[in-house]
Amino acid sequence: MSISTALPEQAPLGRRIKRFMSDYPLVPLLILLVLLVLVLQMLSPGIVNQRWIANTIKFAIPLALLAGCQTMTMLTGGIDLSVGTAATMAAFIVATQGVMYDAPTAMMIALIPAVIIGFANGIGVGVFRVHPLIMTLGTSLIGIGCLQVYQRTVIASGAKVPEFLIWLGTGVTGGFPNALLLFVPVAALLLFIQKRTGFGRLLYAIGDNERATRLAGVKYWQVILALYMLSSILAGIMGLLYIGLIKAPSLSLAEPLVLPSVAAAVIGGTSIFGGRGSYTGTIVGALILTVLTTLLTILQMPEGARRMLFGAIVLLVTAAYLRIIEDR
Amino acid sequence: MAEQPLLEATGVAKRYGAVSALKNASLTVLPGEVHALMGANGAGKSTLVKILTGAISSNAGRILVRGQERDIRSPAKARLAGLVPVYQEPSLIPDLDVLSNLRLTRTPVEPFREWIKELGVPDLDLRELARDVPLAIQRVLDLARALAVEPDVMLLDEMTAALPANLAERVLDVVKRQSQTGRSVIFISHRFVEIAALCDRATVLRDGETVGVVDIAPGIEERIVELMLGAKVEKKRVALKEANEELAGHAGSTRIAVRNLKVGTKLHDVSFDLKDGEVAGVVALEGQGQDELFAALAGSIRPDGGTIEVDGKPAQFHHPVDAVEQGIAYVPGDRTEALAMQQSVRENIALPFSAAFRNWGPIRMAREGATVQNAIERLQIDTRAQREVQRLSGGNQQKVTIARWIAADARTLLCFDPTRGIDVGTKQEIYKLLRQLAEQGKSVLFYTSELEEVQLVCDRAIVIFGGKVVDILPVQIADEAALTRAAYGLSRDSKAEVGVLAEPHSAPEAHP
Ligand SMILES: Nc1ncnc2c1ncn2[C@@H]1O[C@H](COP(=O)(O)OP(=O)(O)OP(=O)(O)O)[C@@H](O)[C@H]1O
Ligand SMILES: [Mg+2]
C-alpha cells in the first residue's frame, strides 16, 4: 500500500462498476444475453425476428423449468439429478396412457412416478443424510430402469400425445408461445416461494448454516422432503410440456437437458454451495444457454467441436461472472 | 518522540460501497509496548487490523514499519514485515486437523507445542479436527500459531473475548512477557480489566477515525469510554433489588428444574432451579461442563442422566425444536453456530418465525418488518451493512444472535456469553434488556466469562467446577474475587490469591 492519490470519496470507475455489478448481479447477465443476440445477428443477418424470439423462448422454457428444480435444491447446497428421469417418465407415461385415458387422467397418472421419486429423494437426503448427488443419481437410474420395464408392457398399444399438450408445447398465440401460460405462473410461484414465504427463507438458511436452523427449531428432514418433492413434481410438469414440444416419446427424452439445467442455474448466479441465488438469474441463464446453442448450430461446426466450444464458453462465463459479482 | 516507532500507520481509509469502514485512522506502536486499540462495535478496529496484515487492501493511507514505507498487499508480505495477526473469528480450517492446519500456514510445530503448554492447554491432541476443538481453545491455538512465528508486532483482535478467567489470565501473562522482550502487541478487547492490566497506551477509534491516543493509568477508563462513544456511560448495577428480594426475587414459580444432570464426560451432577422473573448467572472456568449444560437445556444434545423439568413437568428434548416450543431459546457462545452468514440481518432475526411447518406459508412482510426493526433498535445493531450478516462487525453479529430471540419473544433465554465482543455502551443496554425481560416474568440463564457482569445483571450466581455445582452465591457477595475463588473450587472463606482479572482496579505491575 502506498500513498493513494484517489480520495476515498471518489473510488475509481472500475471499482464503482464492480460495486454496481455485485449489487445488481442480473445486469452483467442481461448484457451477456444481448451481446450473444447481437453476435448471432451479425453472423447471420436477419435471423433475429419475432418468430426466432418465440422459438427461442419455446425451447428455453423447458430448460428453465428444470433449472428451477436445480435452483431450489442448490439453495440448500443440494442438487437434483433425477429431474431428467422424472420428466422423461412423465412424458413417456402421458403419451402411452393417452391412448387409453383422457388427457387430465393421463397427466395425473404420469405425475405419480415423479411424486415417488421426489419422496424417495427427500427421505434419502433428509432422513438418511445421503449426499443429494448420489441419492438423486440413484433414484434416476432406478426410475429409468422401471421405465424400460414399463415400455415393454405398452409396446403394442402405441402412443398418443394429448392434443392439449401439443397446443401448449408448440402453439403460438399472437406471437407469444402458449408455453408462457404455464411458465409465467410457475416462475412467479417459484420466485414468490423464494422471496416471500417461510419455506423459501428456510431453503436459503439451511444452505447457509444448517446448524443455525436446527437451533432455531427447524426440522431439516421436513424441509428437505418438501423440497425434493416440489422439485420432482416440477420436473414431471416440465416432462408433460416437453413431450408436447418434441412429440416423440423416448427413454432419454429429457436426459440431455439435465446438465444444462445445472449450468443454467450456476450461470444465473446460484451457488452450488447453497445459501445464494435466485430464480430470476436462472431464467436469464437458461436463455443464454439456448441462444448459445443456436449460435453454435449456425457456425456449422462438427458436433464434437460444438460441444467443446459450448463447454468452454460455459466455464468461461461462469468464472468471469463470479469474478465480476464477487467483491473484496 | 525519541524512540522510533515499530509500526506507524496514518490516514488509513477503507470503503465498502456506501459504507466507510475506516475514514482516517492512524496508529503508532512503539517497540516493546502493548498498545490497545479501542472503539465501539463497528468503529473499524478489525478492518484496521486486516489492512495492517494484508488481508484486505485499503483505499488510502500509508504504513511504515521501522520507519520504512512497506507495501503490505498480502498476508505473506505482512508476515515478512513482521506483522502477524490473530483475527476476531477463529481461523483454523474446521475440516482439517490441527496439525494440517499448522502445515498449511507453515507454522513450526515444536514452538507451537511449547506455546500451547505455556498458554495452559497441555493435553491437546494435534490430530483432532479443528471443528471439534471448543471455541475458547481454538482461540488459544490461534494465538500460539501467531507466537510460534515470532513476530515483531502481534495484532490480537478480541483474542480473549471467548476466554474464561483461567485462560485469559495465561494469555495476558504471555503477552506481557512478549512485550518485555522488545516485541510489540496491538491488543483489541472490550474488557477494561484486561486493558488496565496489560496495556501501556491506547488508540481510540470512533466511526473509522482515530479520535485520541491516551496513556493507560488508573481512572482512564471513563475518558476512553467518552472518546469511544462520544458520551458517558454509567456502569450501573441493574440487578440490585436487595430490599424486596424476598418479595420479588423468589416469588416466581420454578420455570426449569434441573436435577442430577449428567452429560458426557464433562458434566457429572448438576442441580438447580431457574425461576420465572430471574436472571441466574452461571460461572465456570474453561471446560467445566458449562457448554454441555447449555446444549442439553437447549435440546441440542441428550443428557445421559438426571432430569429436566419445565414448568413442573418432566421434559425430554430430542431436538432443539422441543425446547423452542416450550419457549426456551438458546443463544450459543459461538455466533457462527447461530448465524446464516450470507443472509440479511432481517432474515437472520426472523429465522425462528418460519421454523415450524405451519409457518412455511407467505410471510406477512409488514408485521415481520416491524418486529425485526424493533429488535434491531433495542439492541442498537449497526445496520449499515445489513444485506449480509458476514459484513457486520463482530459485535454487531453477536447482537443479531440475541435480537433473534428478543423478536421471537422467548420465555426463557439461555445466553452463553452473550456480550462477547460487545462494546461497553451496548453492554449496558443488554443488561437493561435482560432485567426488563426478568421484570416481565421471563427467565434468563446467563453464562458469562466476564465475572464483573454477574453483579451487574444477575440475581444469583451458580458456580460450576469439575462438572458439579460447587456453590450458589447471592449477588451481594458475588464479586469477582469471590466468584473466581468459587470457580477454582475453593470454599467461600478461603483467601487464596486469584489473579489480576479478579482485581479490576489493581495497577498493572501488581501482576504476580
Ligand atoms: N464487506 C463489507 N461490506 C460492507 N461493510 C463492511 C464490510 N466489512 C466491514 N464492513 C463495515 O465496516 C465497519 C467496521 O467494521 P469492523 O469489523 O472493523 O468493526 P470493529 O471495530 O472490529 O467492531 P467490533 O467491535 O464489533 O468487532 C462496520 O460498520 C461494518 O459493517
Ligand atoms: Mg471487530
Residues A141-183: tens digit of each pLDDT: 999 999 999 999 988 888 899 999 999 999 999 889 999 999 9
B251, pLDDT greater than 70: no
pLDDT tens-digit profile of B213-241? 999 998 888 899 999 988 766 666 655 55
Rounded CA-CA distance B449/B291 in Å is: 12
Query: What secondary structure does DSSP assign to B349-371, as a single string?
Result: HTHHHHHSGGG-SB--HHHHHHH
Residue type, B24: N
Residue type, B468: K
B334 Cβ contact partners less than 8 Å away, ≥ 6 residues apart = B135, B162
Task: Give me ligand 2 centre to Cα B83, in Å.
Answer: 18
Rounded CA-CA distance B195/A11 in Å is: 37
Checking A53-60 for CB contacts under 8 A at 24+ apart, the result is A54/A172, A54/A175, A54/A176, A54/A177, A56/A287, A56/A290, A56/A291, A56/A294, A57/A177, A57/A179, A57/A180, A57/A287, A58/A169, A58/A170, A58/A172, A58/A177, A58/A179, A58/A245, A59/A245, A59/A290, A60/A286, A60/A287, A60/A289, A60/A290
Whether B419 is in the pocket of ligand 1, judged by its Cβ within 6 Å, is no
Distance from CA of B71 to the nearest CA of A (A): 5
Q: Which residue has the cell 426449569?
A: B256
B486, pLDDT greater than 80: yes
Q: What is the mean pLDDT of residues B327-347?
A: 94
Backbone φ and ψ for B337, nearest 5 degrees, come out as: -80, -20
Can you tell me the ipTM of this complex?
Answer: 0.91
Rounded CA-CA distance B11/B62 in Å is: 7
Task: Give me ligand 1 centre to Cα B395, in Å.
Answer: 9
Helix (H, G, I), strand (E, B) or coil at B209: strand
Rounded CA-CA distance B255/B275 in Å is: 5
Please give the pLDDT value at position B238.
Answer: 56
* Residue pair A177/A166 in contact by the 8 Å Cβ criterion: no
pLDDT tens-digit profile of B378-396? 999 988 888 899 999 999 9
Nearest C-alpha in B relative to A197: B362
Nine-digit cell string for B63: 504504513
pLDDT tens-digit profile of B88-144? 999 999 999 999 999 998 899 999 999 999 998 888 899 999 988 988 999 999 999
Nearest to A70 by CA among A286, A325, A318, A288: A286
Nearest to A69 by CA among A187, A176, A178, A168: A187
Rounded CA-CA distance A127/A222 in Å is: 9
CB contact under 8 A, A208 and B71: no
- Domain residue extents for chain A: 52-326
Nearest C-alpha in A relative to B295: A215
Q: Which residue has the cell 419473544?
A: B409
Question: How would you classify the pairing of strands B34-38 and B460-465?
Answer: unpaired
pLDDT tens-digit profile of B152-195? 999 999 999 888 888 898 999 999 999 999 899 999 999 988 99
Q: What is the mean pLDDT of residues B288-316?
A: 94
| CA-closest residue to ligand 1 atom 7 | B391
Question: How would you classify the pairing of strands B460-465 and B468-474?
Answer: antiparallel
Q: Report CA-CA distances (Å) from A68 to A102, A178, A305, B322, B473.
A: 29, 19, 29, 34, 59
Domain A52-326, CATH number (from 1.10.3470, 1.10.260, 2.60.40, 1.10.1740): 1.10.3470
Position in ligand 1 atom list of the atom nearest CA B392 = 31
Q: What is the mean pLDDT of residues B487-509?
A: 62
Please give the pLDDT value at position A20.
Answer: 78
Q: Report CA-CA distances (Å) from B85 to A13, A119, A170, B21.
A: 32, 49, 63, 19
Query: Any idea which ligand is nearest the CA of B189?
Result: 1
Count of all residues that appear for chain B in the document: 512
The answer to whether A14 contacts chain B (CB < 8 Å) is no
Nearest to B134 by CA among B144, B153, B145, B121: B121
Rounded CA-CA distance B16/B51 in Å is: 13
Query: What secondary structure does DSSP assign to B263-316, as a single string?
Result: ETTTEEEEEEEEETT-EEEEE--TTSSHHHHHHHHTTSS--SEEEEEETTEEE-
Backbone φ and ψ for A133, nearest 5 degrees, come out as: -60, -50
Whether B82 is in the pocket of ligand 1, judged by its Cβ within 6 Å, is no
A6 Cβ contact partners less than 8 Å away, ≥ 6 residues apart = A12, B59, B60
- Tell which phi-psi region holds residue B311, choosing left (phi > 0), alpha (psi between -120 and 50) or beta: left
Task: Give me ligand 2 centre to Cα B85, in Å.
Answer: 13
Model confidence at B510, pLDDT cuts 50, 70, 90, reads: very low
CB contact under 8 A, B360 and A197: yes
Low-confidence ranges of chain A (pLDDT < 70): 1-11, 325-328
